[in-house]
Structure 1
Amino acid sequence: MRSRYAAFAVGDTFYLTRTWHPRTRPDDLSTERHVRWTGLTILAEGDDTVDFEARWISPDGDGALREHSRFVRRGGRWVYVDGDVA
């Protein structure tokens, strides 16, 4: 989860593609350049889930994303499947 947050923060779409399940991965993974990610807090972890809050600053103001994310092991690596935004 932390590595995916870092990839979003720096706009590493190659890493995001590799760590997103192909069944649920969007076609366009371009990141928003006007958003500056400022922090990640892991709220809870399960066997294949992570609850987190990611904070950002943009020209429109500050914000946060809370999500309950689901992951699966595929090819020996954990990949993001989907999540419920809180």
Structure 2
Amino acid sequence: MKKSYQIKVYGRVQGVGFRWFTQNLAQEYHIVGWVQNKNDGTVDMKIQGDAIDVTSFLEKLKQGPGPYSHVEKIIKQSIALFESNNFAIR
């Protein structure tokens, strides 16, 4: 069953390879959508995939790309399904 979410990630998530890390994770877990930096220092994304893959993706996302990043919290909000066939960095 497909799930779609709008995600906002707080912490040290800009300038540390977070979007690239997110795109690679999305490909690994067959997630479609996009990720982008926001002016307030957060990262926004829209994701969609099978429920189990989305859960695994979000668990790995919390770990971040390495020692220079730090995810403080992830806010997720359910949204309507959308059309996409890839995961883009914006």
Larger radius of gyration: 1
Greater fraction of residues in strand? 1
**TM-score range with shorter-chain normalisation?**
0.3 to 0.5
Report the TM-score when normalising by structure 1: 0.37
Structure showing the higher helix proportion among its residues: 2
